[in-house]
A and B are shown apart, each in its own frame.
Chain A
């Protein structure tokens, strides 16, 4: 047991040394960055990262970042995913990520990062709420292991604006499932109905009527649901233009609410003979 935990400590120490080295190099190269992933969770109170260190950077700075790290002797890999670059400092791995769960890393995201003391240096660390959003958005069919995210989220739960997380991840069934898990484990409080949610049925009714009666749409087959201040539009229409008009008319009927237009355009397949 003792040897295993000291191995862990040794592994973390080497990784954290690489993290500090990369951060200095990137900073000297003038690349705006923020610590993300498990290392950011570590800065915010979780256990130290074991496998890699994630930095987020703007995609426009990706080449500069790769050159600077390569010039210092690190090996650069560009995986086919297209949204990150990997840098190897010997055995230690760094991910330079420019798209988090399908959302590009923006100037605003980097500006929200907070300067914190990490291993005796000052480093911008991704905002706790942005960090939680990045984990919840990353869940998919192929990546639905909640254990890692749960370990990371627990120690920083007080720092996160969970209402914002709910709104920003409302489109993902995996994120909703993870939030239910957090509620069940008492990591976070159950969502409070936002003020005025009692009106959700009336809002949905108003949008449905607008979609049926507005001369731009006349759509009777679009299903409208209002949840947590988000309007979900689902169903099928005959053209892309009609799909966009559904979003437009629904938006006008419910000003101030976020509309998620999940309506699709029906595809006409060739006929098939009976008995075929």
Chain B
């Protein structure tokens, strides 16, 4: 059994400091790993990344992050990635990592992902070069993510992105902006690898729970959605719990 803690969209900065850290001291008591689903900073600056480092460094559990669109705003994703890695935080982009945890080997494949929309209502690589570039960028990021996920040699596998892989977890956002919130390419990547869980952020007004077309549980862990320092999902093949928090769902009445 593996307990996955996750939060996204913390949007830290010098004016938002020390808000999550106090809740992380005992994290090993309830989780085996912490995933950060992007938008770690508000403006994507180095001073903000320093606050992120202070907040999440030297935890009792491994920390794995992807960046979000806010972390790209000041053209410093490379600096931010380096700072996080120097602090011992794993940063994924079209890549994966396998952790030997007490409950088994956990593989996490991650990347920021991008927009484009969802099947039937999505952009395609057609027309103007700007439109082609937009959709191509999304597809290429998702392809690298899918390859990373399929390459994970682990008992449990999790897909970590900033952008949403499905529209389920966007309910509450205006439908008109769905193409800016995620892409079905990401769900396709997760389904191609048959992972146990897909975690994302980005959609502040969305909802927590959804499912990919292939039946993989999707969780939107944006802070404004979960409203707590992190959410915890349990993966347990022994118990036959495929749904990460099935224990919370009451048995259907006969």
A contact residues vs B (CB 8 Å cutoff): 215, 218, 221, 235-236, 238-239, 241-242, 266-275
Q: From residue A234, how far is it (CB to closest CB) to chain B in Å?
A: 11
Nearest 9 pairs of A and B residues by beta carbon: A275-B247, A269-B228, A221-B204, A274-B245, A241-B15, A239-B15, A238-B16, A274-B232, A238-B11
Residues in B neighbouring A271, C-beta threshold 8 A: 5, 23, 27, 30, 228-232
B residues less than 8 Å from A275 (CB atoms):
234, 245, 247-248
Given known A-B contacts A236-B204, A275-B247, A266 and B229 have beta carbons under 8 A apart: no
- Whether B244 pairs with A274 at a CB distance below 8 angstroms is yes
How far apart sit A266 and B16, CA to CA, in the bound complex (Å)?
A: 11
Place the interface of chain B in its size category: 20 to 34
A274 touches B234 (CB 8 A): yes
Question: Which residues of the other chain, A, contact B205 by a CB distance below 8 angstroms?
Answer: 221
**A218 contact from B43, B227, B231, Cβ within 8 A:** B43
Dominant secondary structure at the A interface:
loop
User: Chain A nearest CB: distance from B29 CB in Å?
Assistant: 9
Is B42 positioned at the interface, with any CB of A under 8 Å from its CB?
A: yes
Expressed in whole angstroms, the minimum distance between the Cβ of A199 and any Cβ of chain B is 20
Spell out B's residues near A (CB within 8 Å).
3, 5, 10-13, 15-16, 19-20, 23, 27, 30, 42-43, 70, 73, 204-205, 223-224, 227-234, 244-245, 247-248
Contact B23 A236 (CB under 8 A): no
The CA of A236 and the CA of B226, in the complex, are separated in Å by: 13
> In the bound complex, how far is the Cα of B248 from the Cα of A272, in angstroms?
12
Max chain A CB contacts within 10 Å: which of B5, B12, B228?
B228
| Residues of chain A within 8 A of B12, CB atoms compared | 238
Report whether B15 and A270 are in contact in the complex, using a CB–CB cutoff of 8 Å. no
- Which residues of chain A are near B204, meaning CB under 8 Å? 221, 235-236
Q: Say whether B247 contacts A266, CB under 8 Å.
A: no
Identify which of B5, B70, B223, B231 contacts A266 (C-beta below 8 A).
Answer: B223
Question: How far apart are the CA atoms of A267 and B19 in the complex, in Å?
Answer: 9
With a cutoff of 8 Å between Cβ atoms, the chain A residues found around residue B10 in the complex are 238
A242 engages B248 (CB within 8 Å):
no
Q: Offer 10 A-B interface pairs, CB within 8 angstroms, sorted by A.
A: A221-B204, A238-B13, A238-B19, A268-B23, A268-B228, A270-B228, A270-B229, A271-B5, A271-B232, A274-B247
CA distance A215 to B73 in the complex (A): 9
Chain A residues closer than 8 Å to B30, beta-carbon distance = 271, 273
